[in-house]
Chains A and B, each alone.
Chain A
Amino acid sequence: MVSHVEKTFPKEGCGLMIGSDGLVQEAVPLPNTYTGPQEDFFVIDPQDLHRVDRESRDRGLDVLGVFHSHPNCDAYFSKRDLQHSCPWFSYVVLSIKNGRFDHANSYRPDFDQTEAPKEELTYG
């Protein structure tokens, strides 16, 4: 995850996290398909999501969440993140400062895209 979003810096990088029972086993980097300036926005192509979902399903794994970076910005869940969020996934936000990983947080948005409580991240 970190190496992908350090590479995409100063643009936002993104991808999916797959695993099982809430434990992330793999990160799948995906292209940011936003056609405007990518320094502060990302879009995952639904076709990519569809494909990763199908492939992980075949391997007995689940798509657990989404990760994306905030270049030169803290790892908060922004208004934009909330407006485009989906409550089915956990969202890991990585703060990349000057091209290097700084810190990360995870959030779980609600149905109405009004709140996203922070989740505890444990590293195993």
Chain B
Amino acid sequence: MAKILIPTPLRQYADKQDSVQLAGSTVGEVLKSLTGQYSELRRHLYNDEGKLRSFVNVYVNDEDIRYLNKEATPVTDGDTVSIVPSIAGGSAGVQSPPAPPLTLSKDEILRYSRHLIMPEVGMEGQLKLKGAKVALIGTGGLGAPLGMYLAAAGIGRIGLVDFDVVDFTNLQRQVIHGTKDVGKKKLDSAAETMLDINPYVEIDRHETALTSENALDILKDYDIVVDGTDNFPTRYLVNDACVLLGKPNVYGSIFRFEGQATIFAYPGGPCYRCLYSEPPPPGLVPSCAEGGVLGILPGTIGLIQATETVKLILGIGEPLIGRLVLYDALAMRFRELKLRRNPECPVCGDHPTITKLIDYQEFCGIPNQPHQEAPMEGDIDPVEVKTKIDHGDRFVLIDVREPHEYQICNIPQAKLIPLGDLPKRVNELNSADEIIAHCKSGMRSAKAVEFLKQAGFKKVRNMKGGILAWSDKVDPSLPKY
């Protein structure tokens, strides 16, 4: 037994009553009693297949039954069932003129001839590629092979999202950029290479970081999103935006000698949050800039992503949905893990709790306003360290980087104790001495300072900006890496 509230426009079919008491132990049964008693209401609430019409929402008290047990949601005496129509709409969808039917020119037919002679692609498939719109987030390691091959394959429209500038450390792997491009915007450099490969491709340049504010707006115009980013906040952002927009997210990630690839957010398939519901603590997983990467690795992974993108567009083969490919370049081995959509997933599950984009920096534990300008207590500038050396001040300079980094460049006065060895070599240091620690950029040496302080050292300081800052401010002859 439950009370059911009849919305105004339907009261004429229910003897003008605004509410009716009806028998039934579930929402479905109560609605059945209602339409049994007032048969005119049936066609208003149900379609020909007997399913609730798409514009009909049903609430038990204040809860939408879609987030409860749907029509099997139990009701008891005292519950109120409300029928609330969903109201939405918008101007889009009509005024844009119908797209002219796509064709291939004589030059394009020649260009794509190796595709056209395969029945799996053929003219029909090549036109699908030409009609496709793909967003490529990032034009770095993964974005480089992706951009080049997607352009070569004849994807009609490719949207590039990047705000970075090409630098020398990119060239070991980001083959879309050349030595002449150093200092140029990555967007321009990438677009230039892609248009050189295939002038029939249309390229949208989104010169911005993808953010919660702009992601839906940028990505809504594309059919498929390809994630070529290298950080956790953007990965979660791309994932959530794809789930909310219902667009597949062709995912890849790389680290040192290993990579992963899969398709997330394909309707019915798993999303990134089904695999990793929480980001790792900040700093635990090193980025490529911190941990290094084999330059060829993003080529391999990026091309798996490009292959899957083209397969999705053509609708051929077995898409990499629900499967995570793991690649180990050292062993030269591919493995595969099965992934399932998690019905409890906060964004793509049955009862999503995340229904709009959130603050992903905060979600990943990264402070929004980096306080790098305010000097940390115990920081010392490289210039001051140099002055102390020149004055012959008594202090111990320790370098907490790895031996292979020490070989690239070092400060001669520094004693090498890699961060990981510090606990067992701490007895080599004297807590009476003044100690200054440095690493490449200041992150690891901050951890070393923290460790030493906890071990009872009072006079320890961190050289701000590491050996990179030393090269900038003190000794420009020192190579940067």
Interface, chain A (partner B; CB < 8 A)? 12, 14, 34-37, 40-44, 46-47, 49-50, 53, 56-57, 62-64, 66, 68, 70-71, 73-74, 76, 78-89, 91, 111-113
Q: Which residue of A lies closest to B57 (CB)?
A: A46
Number of A-B residue pairs, CB cutoff 8 Å, is 120
B89 near A37 with CB under 8 A, answer: no
Could you say which residues of chain A place their CB within 8 Å of the CB of B245? 36
B85 near A80 with CB under 8 A, answer: no
A36 near B89 with CB under 8 A, answer: no
With both chains docked as a complex, state the minimum distance between the C-beta of A13 and any C-beta of chain B, in angstroms: 11
Could you say which residues of chain B place their CB within 8 Å of the CB of A111? 43-44, 53
Please report the C-alpha to C-alpha distance between residue A56 and residue B95 in the assembled complex, in whole angstroms.
36
B10 near A78 with CB under 8 A, answer: no
B119 interface residue, CB < 8 Å from A? Answer: no
A88 near B85 with CB under 8 A, answer: yes
Q: Which residue of B lies closest to A73 (CB)?
A: B91
Could you say which residues of chain A place their CB within 8 Å of the CB of B44? 87-88, 111
Could you say which residues of chain A place their CB within 8 Å of the CB of B94? 76, 78-80
Q: Which of B9, B89, B93 touches A88 (beta carbons < 8 Å)?
A: B9
Please report the C-alpha to C-alpha distance between residue A50 and residue B18 in the assembled complex, in whole angstroms.
13
Could you say which residues of chain B place their CB within 8 Å of the CB of A34? 88, 90
Interface, chain B (partner A; CB < 8 A)? 7-10, 18, 43-44, 47, 53-55, 57, 59, 62, 64, 82, 84-95, 216-217, 220, 244-245, 355-357
**A–B complex contacts, Cβ < 8 Å, 23 sampled:** A35-B216, A35-B244, A36-B244, A37-B217, A41-B89, A43-B87, A49-B85, A50-B59, A53-B84, A57-B18, A66-B87, A73-B91, A78-B93, A78-B95, A83-B93, A84-B87, A85-B55, A87-B55, A88-B7, A88-B85, A111-B43, A111-B44, A111-B53
Q: Which of B54, B62, B87, B90 touches A78 (beta carbons < 8 Å)?
A: B90
Q: Which residue of A lies closest to B82 (CB)?
A: A50
Q: Which of B87, B88, B357 touches A41 (beta carbons < 8 Å)?
A: B88
Please report the C-alpha to C-alpha distance between residue A84 and residue B94 in the assembled complex, in whole angstroms.
14
Please report the C-alpha to C-alpha distance between residue A26 and residue B101 in the assembled complex, in whole angstroms.
47
A80 near B87 with CB under 8 A, answer: no
With both chains docked as a complex, state the minimum distance between the C-beta of A104 and any C-beta of chain B, in angstroms: 13
With both chains docked as a complex, state the minimum distance between the C-beta of B161 and any C-beta of chain A, in angstroms: 16
A62 near B86 with CB under 8 A, answer: no
Q: Which of A56, A73, A89 touches B87 (beta carbons < 8 Å)?
A: A89
Closest CB pairs A-B (n = 5): A41-B90, A88-B9, A81-B89, A79-B93, A40-B92
Q: Which of A53, A82, A83 touches B7 (beta carbons < 8 Å)?
A: A53
> Given contacts A78-B92, A86-B55, could you give 15 more A-B pairs where the C-beta distance is less than 8 Å?
A34-B88, A36-B244, A41-B92, A50-B59, A50-B84, A66-B87, A76-B94, A76-B95, A78-B90, A79-B94, A85-B89, A86-B86, A87-B44, A87-B55, A88-B85
Interface of chain A, main secondary structure: mixed
Could you say which residues of chain A place their CB within 8 Å of the CB of B85? 46, 49, 86, 88-89
Please report the C-alpha to C-alpha distance between residue A18 and residue B265 in the assembled complex, in whole angstroms.
41
B355 near A46 with CB under 8 A, answer: no
Q: Which residue of A lies closest to B48 (CB)?
A: A112
With both chains docked as a complex, state the minimum distance between the C-beta of B357 and any C-beta of chain A, in angstroms: 8
Q: Which residue of A lies closest to B245 (CB)?
A: A36
Could you say which residues of chain A place their CB within 8 Å of the CB of B355? 35
Please report the C-alpha to C-alpha distance between residue A43 and residue B55 in the assembled complex, in whole angstroms.
12
With both chains docked as a complex, state the minimum distance between the C-beta of A57 and any C-beta of chain B, in angstroms: 6
If A36-B216, A111-B53 touch, whether A81 touches B87 (CB-CB below 8 Å) is no
Q: Which residue of A lies closest to B216 (CB)?
A: A36
B82 near A40 with CB under 8 A, answer: no
With both chains docked as a complex, state the minimum distance between the C-beta of A90 and any C-beta of chain B, in angstroms: 9
A53 near B8 with CB under 8 A, answer: yes
Q: Which residue of A lies closest to B64 (CB)?
A: A46
- Which one of B8, B9, B10, B89 has the greatest number of beta carbons of chain A within 10 Å? B89
B216 near A37 with CB under 8 A, answer: yes
With both chains docked as a complex, state the minimum distance between the C-beta of A102 and any C-beta of chain B, in angstroms: 13
Q: Which residue of B lies closest to A88 (CB)?
A: B9
Could you say which residues of chain B place their CB within 8 Å of the CB of A41? 88-90, 92
A36 near B220 with CB under 8 A, answer: yes
Q: Which of B53, B86, B95, B217 touches A46 (beta carbons < 8 Å)?
A: B86
Q: Which residue of A lies closest to B85 (CB)?
A: A86
Please report the C-alpha to C-alpha distance between residue A84 and residue B53 in the assembled complex, in whole angstroms.
11
With both chains docked as a complex, state the minimum distance between the C-beta of A20 and any C-beta of chain B, in angstroms: 10
Please report the C-alpha to C-alpha distance between residue A78 and residue B91 in the assembled complex, in whole angstroms.
6
Please report the C-alpha to C-alpha distance between residue A11 and residue B90 in the assembled complex, in whole angstroms.
10
Q: Which of A12, A36, A57, A84 touches B86 (beta carbons < 8 Å)?
A: A84
If A37-B217, A37-B220, A50-B82 touch, whether A86 touches B87 (CB-CB below 8 Å) is yes
